[in-house]
Amino acid sequence: MTPPKPNSPQAQPDDLRLTEQRNPRSAGIDRMSALEIVDLINAEDRTVAAAVGEQREPIARAIAMVVECLGKGGRLVYVGAGTSGRLGVLDASEMPPTYGTQPETVQGVIAGGYEALLRAQEGAEDRPEDGAAAMDDRGIGADDFVLGIATSGTTPYVHGALRRARELGARTGLLLCTHASDEMRRDNDVVIAPLVGPEVITGSTRMKAGTATKMVLNTISTAAMVQTGKVYGNLMVDLTVTCQKLQDRGERILMDTLGLPREQAVALLDAAGGHVKTAIVMARLSLDAAQARRRLEAAGGSVADVLRTPGG
């Protein structure tokens, strides 16, 4: 497809936000076959990982801040509207079943509240005072890290939340998919800006921008959980059995790490109250569940640290 001429309106849009510009590669999508649309979207999606990779250093800085805050008993709080807000809530909601965190440790705040998860709440994102109130409602403080998610970079609700979070002493970050202004970089402790370019459907940021957001949030929360002792090797050992799937996963982790047959893994997991991390320490150090839990608490929850402690 022929790219737009440099002096065309498409090439020089009034709106400088990348998320609102037209993508010349998809200008004729309404005349494409289903297979051509699949190929086009797939080709655009392949660019997302590279854009996220270019933000590796600010992502790593954000992780370090999150780990520091969690180590002080603080929280990671995502704030967004629309797709951005839903992705923040999604990532936060995955932490308790996957890593055994308390529900308040990682939180997702979305403009419009719970109803906005299921149905768009038009206008909710336009009220910065509501974002500020959400920070007050959650008692945000100096030990918390608040990450605003606004792919266009302009969402008033998010900026209102970040301003109030800073006033309350929290560290803040901003995740967007367009060029960050000097003010954004000056005001926040870290800015993450994967430039995924214009969307296949103009302004539909649930697509490439949404994918980039999901990748960044996955990386931040996963790395933070690893560095706070929620993982042993590459196993999610801090899970607690709450359903049949997790029961099976817990048993298989014990079978793999301890070389146990299924029957013994079942009995050990039951003795540990369904907590895999406790079960591993029990078996490796010949302790009962209470003793194992105390050792883990003293080591900040790290199985590796418990097992390499002298006398352990």
pLDDT tier, 300 (very low <50, low <70, confident <90, very high otherwise) = confident
Asked, for residue 234, whether it belongs to a domain, the answer is no
The verdict on 212 and 251 lying in the same domain is no
The verdict on 151 and 254 lying in the same domain is no
User: Is the distance from CB of 33 to CB of 26 less than 8 angstroms?
Assistant: no
pLDDT tier, 6 (very low <50, low <70, confident <90, very high otherwise) = very low
> What is the predicted pLDDT for the residue at 12?
43
The verdict on 192 and 249 lying in the same domain is no
Structure tokens at 2: 């022929």
pLDDT tier, 93 (very low <50, low <70, confident <90, very high otherwise) = very high
User: 278: closest CA among 259, 294, 261?
Assistant: 294
Q: Is a pLDDT exceeding 70 seen at residue 35? A: yes
Q: How many domains are there within the chain?
A: 2
Q: Is a pLDDT exceeding 70 seen at residue 77? A: yes
Global pTM reads 0.88
Asked, for residue 71, whether it belongs to a domain, the answer is yes
Asked, for residue 39, whether it belongs to a domain, the answer is no
pLDDT tier, 310 (very low <50, low <70, confident <90, very high otherwise) = low
The verdict on 200 and 280 lying in the same domain is no
Q: Is a pLDDT exceeding 50 seen at residue 91? A: yes
The verdict on 134 and 170 lying in the same domain is yes
Taking residues 233-250, report their average pLDDT.
Answer: 89
Q: Please report the sign of the dihedral spanned by the C-alpha atoms of residue 154, residue 157, residue 160, residue 161.
A: negative
User: 81: closest CA among 158, 192, 160?
Assistant: 158
Asked, for residue 164, whether it belongs to a domain, the answer is yes
User: 257: closest CA among 305, 310, 303?
Assistant: 303
User: Is the distance from CB of 23 to CB of 197 less than 8 angstroms?
Assistant: yes
* CATH code, domain carrying 183: 3.40.50.10490
The verdict on 251 and 218 lying in the same domain is no
Asked, for residue 233, whether it belongs to a domain, the answer is no
Structure tokens at 47: 């660019």
Taking residues 201-205, report their average pLDDT.
Answer: 90
**Which residues on neighbouring strands pair with residue 254, listed in sequence order?**
none
The verdict on 97 and 186 lying in the same domain is yes
**Residues with active-site annotation:** 94, 125
> What is the predicted pLDDT for the residue at 85?
96
**Which H helix or E strand runs over 185?**
helix 182-187
> What is the predicted pLDDT for the residue at 146?
98
pLDDT tier, 19 (very low <50, low <70, confident <90, very high otherwise) = confident
Asked, for residue 170, whether it belongs to a domain, the answer is yes
> What is the predicted pLDDT for the residue at 242?
84
CA trace torsion 297, 298, 300, 306 (10° rounding): -100
- Interatomic CA distance for residues 167 and 180, integer angstroms: 21
The verdict on 210 and 101 lying in the same domain is yes
The verdict on 111 and 215 lying in the same domain is yes
Query: Which domain-ending residue is among 200, 227, 254?
Result: 227
**Which residues on neighbouring strands pair with residue 131, listed in sequence order?**
none
Asked, for residue 7, whether it belongs to a domain, the answer is no
Structure tokens at 271: 């003795």
User: Is the distance from CB of 172 to CB of 189 less than 8 angstroms?
Assistant: yes
Least reliable range by pLDDT among 199-208, 236-245, 287-296:
236-245
Asked, for residue 19, whether it belongs to a domain, the answer is no
Structural domain containing residue 275: 244-308
The verdict on 186 and 258 lying in the same domain is no
Least reliable range by pLDDT among 9-13, 21-25, 52-56, 145-149:
9-13
The verdict on 271 and 215 lying in the same domain is no
User: Is the distance from CB of 137 to CB of 68 less than 8 angstroms?
Assistant: no
User: 73: closest CA among 93, 94, 102, 112?
Assistant: 102
The verdict on 219 and 282 lying in the same domain is no
- Neighbour-count burial of 96, counting CB atoms closer than 10 A to its CB (0-12 exposed, 13-18 middle, 19+ buried): middle
Query: Which domain-ending residue is among 171, 202, 227?
Result: 227
Least reliable range by pLDDT among 174-188, 239-253, 281-295:
239-253
